[in-house]
Chain A
Amino acid sequence: MASQSNSMSIAAPEVAATAANSAPTQNTRPSRPPRPNYRHIHRFPLPLSVHPLPPLIPHNPISIVSVLLSYLTYLISPPRHEVHSAYFDPDTSSVHVTDPKAIRALWEMGFFGKGSLSRSEPSWLEREKKRRGLLGGVTSEEVTRQRRTERRELKLERARMEKLAIEQRLKAEAAARETGDASAGDTSAEQPLLSSADGVTNDPLPTEKFSLRKAREAKMLESQRSVVQAEEKSTPNSTGQMSPSGGKTVRFSPVVQAKEFAPDSTVLHVTESVGDEHGAEDEPLLNNEEHLQLSNEEAFFLVYGLGALQVYDDKLNAPLSVPSLLSLFCQHSRFPPCHPSSDLDLDDPFMISYVVYHHFRSLGWVVRSGVKFGVDYLLYNRGPVFSHAEFAVVVIPSFEHPYWSATEERRAHCASKQARSWWWLHCVNRVQAQVKKSLVVCYVDVPQPTSGDIQALSGDIGTLLARYKVREMLIRRWVPNRTRD
């Protein structure tokens, strides 16, 4: 649902506009806009254009002619290769794309990068428009925020109810103590005795538990009451008829709404004050403050793998060569970045993570950051709009070659790079289980350095990459209770 409203307006602006016109107020639910045609929008898996040959049918001379003809046309006027531009930002250690056309192309064809002000797809402008009431609907960010606020409220309510119950019980116990031993024994000891005798099975310890559901019900009741009161005041004669619609109006009663939005108002204030300077009439002139942010792996893949991007240095106004881009990314794979002069380390974090990125991309996966789930990558089949990522990948280097264990120093170095604690593995695995993903540990075997590696920076990156090797292990909890037959 979130994704729908999120990218809806970009895919079909006219639909969004009509939705905005027909549903200008918050109190009427905007009709759900039709789902954009993702299969059409994202029909190209990579930001490269392909020109298939017409089918060749050997016994049909016309087909041969048409094939030759297509060759000829490409020869005479080769189709232009689209190369997008971006620049490297050393502060965020990432690559920025500001050209709207490039942003759309990189997002739609292969889901590269993320909006600098959005969770994923660059959607800040749309959100901002919606927020200012220019468009209808709610963005996924707002839905999430609302859901969280609601939950927080409910939790507070539950805590209050629990506290109240404890106080009441303490009072009762104290009172029982005062009224004398005989009766005290009756009231305070009887109940536990009963519950201990019956076990927990048939008596789930009544008053001490509060579920969120109960809190929600209580709140519903409360707000319903206030609605009733409000309606009684305003329309005293309609009291008899309001009950059937009562359930629905509760959600939008002024009481609940005021509560729900209260904590957010402070957050929104900052941006609002900025918006106020422009005034409502300036809103169509809203500037897009957002750019597309590419991770260094994504950028290098687009440059080196596909040739669909060129990256500019933020100082020099010329695109960086592929070897110098690699060198730059390697420097920035550590914190603080290392000196530009240092040689390429084969176990440089960028090299290792790029090998994995390239590997999964070359198999057709859409590879995106998994930082939100505590992993290195998420693997999407075709793309995030089509399906959830089933696989979450963590990358761990491996040093199998004897070179790495030749000296004590190297052994210690490799051990520190490989060492991952058990609790970490179990932790990450549990997180993936919570979000219904499968954990993949992707080991990258780092080759031994050779004299040719220095040249890699100016020379053959492909040969270097081909000396790494990946091995994926799928790890998941084994629950013996469930594999018995």
Chain B
Amino acid sequence: MATEPILPIPISYIAGNYYLFSIDAVTYLRREHHICGVLIGTLPQIPQQNVFLSLPLELMPEEARLLVEKGVACIVDEVKVQNQGMKAFMEEDRKQYLQDLEAQGLQAARLQAGRKEQQREKTLKKLEEKKAAKAKASEEPAPAVSEAPKDEPLLEVFADSQPPSHSPSTSRRTSTTVTAENALKITPATARPPLPAEPSPDQLMPLPQVPSSYPLFAHLHSEGYFLSPGLRFGCQYMAYPGDPLRFHSHFLVVSAEWDEELDLMDIIAGGRLGTGVKKGFLIGGAETEQDVRTFSVEWAGM
């Protein structure tokens, strides 16, 4: 599926926050490092909803820090990268880049046209089959299931960050004619390419500043939990036992200082909230730098 991104992955720092724009980086970090972030962009396929969102992926400073500490990622000043990169973008670069984009656009147009044709064929076929079925009522229905996965290769062409191969032979349906003027225009997700993949040293940023809950975050992450921002649910982090795509969270996590005075009422509320949604309310903190302890609170009624 995805190509492996080159390490360290550059995390874009823009106006105080951390973002990823490359889908390969997003997929890789999710799979290999259990970092999910939060998708904040509009999904262009279905833009009028908030259930499925798209790139960019916003990372918590905790997540960004963890990745930098692991040596998996580095922080780059994206505003600087863009300004410097575009200023250094020369005429020949432009020509090359536009050519690449056009090739991609052509490819996309071919696929689109091909798909249209395929769909037309499919409907025709179905009509025929219907006719046939009417004639022979006992005949088996069309194998619709096997046709469904054919969407995927189509989408996958764009899954690579590399520009697709220029040879027209990759296009599976050569019967459709697509000329250069019909090529689709593309708004790319990332700026690399055309900008150089490696940031220059002066574009690098220091370690992200993290809140005092970081030791607890890092501890739970090291225990295999997937963590995401939890404020909307009444806590600091949601802790998932596996990828949130497939698992419900187990804990509502709140961090406290080791010698912090806790209001019992807060614990009651937290415990009730957790139990009410079939999750544990977890309070944790660092006793010493290394030693993080966690306590799970369950509301037991009265």
Pick out which of these stretches binds chain A: B7-15, B99-107, B230-238. B230-238
- Tell whether B35 is near chain A: CB-to-CB under 8 Å: no
Q: How far is the CA of A119 from the CA of B301 in the complex (A)?
A: 11
> Which of B145, B265, B277 meets A194, CB within 8 Å?
B145
Interfacial residues of chain A within 335-381, with CB under 8 A of chain B in the complex: 371-376
Contact among A148, A194, A197, A430 for B233, CB-based, below 8 A:
A430
Which residues from B are CB-within-8-Å of A428? 234, 269
Q: Please give me the residue from chain B that is nearest to A370 by CB atom.
A: B265
Flag whether B140 is at the interface (Cβ < 8 A).
no
Is A424 at the interface (CB under 8 A from chain B)? yes
Which residues of chain B have C-beta atoms less than 8 A from A194's C-beta?
145
Quick check: B230 and A423 within 8 Å, CB to CB?
yes
Query: Please, what's the 1-or-0 string for B257-275, where 1 marks a CB less than 8 Å from any CB in chain A?
Result: 0000000011011101100
In the A-B complex, list the 8 residue pairs whose CB atoms are closest, starting with the nearest: A374-B269, A427-B234, A426-B234, A434-B276, A430-B234, A374-B268, A197-B148, A431-B272
**Chain A 187-227: CB-based contact to B (< 8 A → 1; otherwise 0):** 00000001001100000000000000000000000000000
Contact of A422 among B231, B252, B277, B302 (CB under 8 A): B231
* Pick from A422, A424, A430: contact of B266, CB under 8 Å: A424
Residues of A contacting B254 in the complex (Cβ-Cβ under 8 angstroms):
423
B228–chain A nearest beta-carbon distance, Å: 14
A310 near B: Cβ within 8 Å? no
Contact status of A374 and B301, CB under 8 A, knowing A423-B230, A423-B236, A426-B234: no
Interface residues of B in 110-166 (CB under 8 A from A): 145, 148-149
A/B interface sample: 23 pairs, CB < 8 A: A119-B302, A148-B301, A197-B145, A197-B148, A372-B302, A373-B268, A373-B272, A374-B268, A374-B269, A374-B270, A374-B273, A376-B265, A422-B231, A423-B235, A423-B236, A426-B234, A427-B235, A428-B269, A429-B234, A431-B273, A434-B272, A434-B273, A434-B277
Instruction: Report Cα–Cα, A422/B232, bound state, in Å.
Output: 9
A423: chain B residues at CB < 8 Å are 230-231, 234-236, 254
A198, B149: Cα distance in complex, Å: 9
Q: Given contacts A374-B266, A424-B266, could you give 13 more A-B pairs where the C-beta distance is less than 8 Å? A: A194-B145, A197-B149, A373-B268, A373-B272, A374-B272, A422-B231, A426-B231, A426-B233, A427-B269, A431-B234, A431-B276, A434-B272, A434-B277
Give every chain A residue within 8 A of B272 (Cβ-Cβ): 372-374, 431, 434
Smallest distance from the beta carbon of A3 to chain B beta carbons, Å? 16
User: CA–CA, A373 to B299, complex, Å?
Assistant: 11
Q: How far is B244's CA from A277's CA once the two chains are assembled, in angstroms?
A: 57
In angstroms, Cα B276 to Cα A372, docked, is 13
Say whether A430 contacts B302, CB under 8 Å. Answer: no
Decide if the interface of chain B is mainly helix, strand, loop or mixed.
helix
Among residues 118 to 132 in chain A, which have CB atoms less than 8 Å away from a CB atom of chain B?
A: 119
Residues from chain A with Cβ under 8 Å of B232 in the complex: 426
CB-defined contacts of B266 to chain A, threshold 8 Å: 374, 424, 427
CB < 8 Å A-B pair total: 65
Which residues from chain B contact A372 at a C-beta distance below 8 Å? Answer: 268, 272, 302
**A144 on the interface (CB 8 Å rule)?**
yes
Interface residues of chain A, those whose CB is within 8 Å of chain B, are 119, 144, 148, 194, 197-198, 371-376, 422-424, 426-431, 434, 481
**Chain A positions within 8 Å of B235 at CB level:** 423, 426-427
Chain B's closest residue to A147 (CB) is B301
Of A119, A197, A371, A481, the residue contacting B268 (CB under 8 A) is: A371
Distance of A426 Cα from B145 Cα, bound (Å): 45
Question: How many Å from the CB of A290 to the closest CB on chain B?
Answer: 16
CA separation between A148 and B270, bound complex, in Å? 20
Instruction: With both chains docked as a complex, state the minimum distance between the C-beta of A107 and any C-beta of chain B, in angstroms.
Output: 19
For A194, A372, A427, A430, which residue has the most chain B Cβ atoms within 10 angstroms? A427
Whole-angstrom distance from the CB of B141 to the nearest CB of chain A? 15
Output the least CB separation between A87 and chain B (Å): 25
For A198, the chain B residues whose CB sits under 8 A away are 145, 148
**Most B-side CB within 10 Å, residue of A422, A429, A430:** A430
Chain B residues whose C-beta falls within 8 Å of the C-beta of A197 in the assembled complex: 145, 148-149
Distance between Cα atoms of A431 and B148 in the complex (Å): 43
Bound together, the chains give a CA A198 to CA B144 distance in angstroms of: 10
Which A-chain residue is minimally distant from B236 (CB atoms)? A423
Measured CA separation A434–B276 after assembly (Å): 7
Q: Which residues of A contact B268 (CB under 8 A)?
A: 371-374
A430 to B272, CA, bound (A): 10
Q: Is the CB of B273 within 8 A of A427?
A: yes
A293 to B127, CA, bound (A): 79
